[in-house]
Amino acid sequence: MDGKNKKLTPNQARPPKATPCKEDKRKKSRVQPTPVKERPKVQQQESEEDFPVSEESVCVSQELASWIKLNAQSLKIRKEDLSWAAGVVKDFRENLLKFLRSCTDQPFFQSAEFINTGSYFEKVKINSPDEFDMMLKLEVPSMIKMTQLDRGLFYRLDLVRPTRTPIQAFLLENKLTISSSKVLNEMYRLVRKFLKTYKVPDVRCRWEVNRKRPNSPAVTLSLCISENNSEELISVDVVPALMSKSCKSWPNPARNGPDVENWLGKKGWQEIRSLPCFFVPKRLKGQNLSEDAKESWRISFSLIEKKIITCHGNSKTCCESNGSKCCRKQCLMLLKSLIEGLKQRFPKELDDLCSYHGKTTFLHMLSTRFSDSCWACQHLPTCFLHLLEAFEGHARTGLLPHFFVPQCNLFSSTSFSRRKLTFLVKALEEQKREGLPLLKPPAPVSPLRPLSPPAEVSTRQSIKQPAADSLHPGFTNKLLLVFGASGLVVLICVTLLMKVTGSDHKG
């Protein structure tokens, strides 16, 4: 699909163009990305002045505000739509874990546990329930030494002393260095072995292991319909992640991480610091890598990010049943939707762009704009435009510090080329100028779960399937296309038949 020529479909509501307005220079607020090395607490104390909550401060028209609110409401996935996909994935996860714990040929994986991370468990998943992340925790019984390979994201992991525990199968020749490639290859082997005997609860579907992607730490699987080589219905990433109980403190580059005491409080920050970080088998980018770089591990803060996004408020009761509501998560979901729309429209030019860039911008803004009153639900359009302006500011300056390892720039030239960053800035400027038309991205032909009842009902079928009229609109696109095309063919055949019959009568 050529993203450059993709246009909005006529039946999609055309967003209003952003109307220019005169701004008071004293009120004008331009969000600047936080410098890598300087993160003073004074910035947080002045945050409420830098981010006024009035609608006029960002010149949002009533039409644009309505457009933002409308799309925010449509992004959240309904529970009925999630039930089928979540049920299939849960059954896969539980049975894979049983298989690993009973697998005698690889004892290192017998103590594995799944960690609930990712957008699904953070409750910021958008559009359709078609992607899930699974982090498989593998505990290292011995003490490990972390050798930094870059500014703080990639490490070589070594045991402090030789061991005879099951992890010895994944050590290099020196009997100390843990091989990321060996762990990932074994994960692939075990998943393929598991699928030989595993049956999907819905007998119409099957799981397939995708080809290994360069620099990816995950074993990616696709759920497809068994009868034909259809598009995937669901994609799942299984990521092996090492954790050492003996290594209780974060690596040095992360110890001077985010300053969030004014936002989450001193106790909240201590709770976050007590959570473990993980290491996933991902190698550094680039050519002519050293042997250490080929066996590198990347640090992951997924569990900590979930904790922060779940408990996001300045007050402990924010968004709880008996507390006030805020629009923080809605702003993140809107930014994720815009990024997804940009990637669909410009797949080649923005192939380096991902939702984590938006998530990092969001986390930075949470730490500086920490007051719950700044994120009141009625200020959703203003808050989102502040977040969008911050994201554009990071892209314009080419500076997006990792939230936990500020020495690492996610927009560095090695991670995101200058040419593509310039293209991203122009694309964001165009979106703001045109009224954010890609906030609701032109939906491609979306994966669709099997709707017709199966010819054979599995004895393990226990998943409640939502009614067709309750499905997310994206899920019904493919069905409409199929029946629309079939109806056209039937109409043509009936017309030709009537002509032939009429000719016969005349004769």
Is the confidence at residue 48, as pLDDT, over 80? Answer: no
pTM: 0.76
How would DSSP label each residue in 143-164? -EEEEE-SSSSEEEEEESS---
Please determine, for residue 343, whether its predicted confidence score (pLDDT) is greater than 90. yes
CB 382 within 8 A of CB 55: yes
Total Cβ atoms within 10 A of residue 275: 13
Token digits for 112?
A: 């594995």
Q: Which amino acid is at 366?
A: L
Note the pLDDT of residue 432: 93
pLDDT band at residue 321 using 50, 70 and 90 as cut-offs: low
Please report the pLDDT score of residue 28 as a whole number.
40
pLDDT of residue 502: 53
Q: pLDDT digit string (tens) for 385-405? A: 999 999 999 999 999 999 999
Beta-carbon contacts of residue 385 (< 8 Å; ≥ 6 apart)? 58, 60, 68
Assign 338 a pLDDT band (cuts: 50, 70, 90): very high
Whether residue 270 has pLDDT greater than 70: yes
Query: Which bin fits 286, alpha (ψ -120 to 50), beta or left (φ > 0)?
Result: left
Q: What would the pLDDT profile of 325-336 be if each residue is shown by its tens digit?
A: 889 889 999 999
pLDDT tops 60 at residue 454:
no
Residue 57: its pLDDT value, please? 57
Strand pairing class (154-159; 234-244): unpaired
Mean pLDDT along residues 184-213: 93
Q: 367 falls in which pLDDT band (50, 70, 90)?
A: confident
Q: Is the pLDDT confidence value at 471 over 60?
A: no
Helix (H), strand (E) at residue 208? strand 205-209
Name the strand (E) or helix (H) holding 186: helix 180-195
pLDDT of residue 203: 86
Each residue's pLDDT tens digit, 232-254: 888 999 999 999 776 667 888 88
- Concatenated DSSP letters of 463-485: PPPPPGGGS-HHHHHHHHHHHHH
End-to-end CA distance of the chain: 50
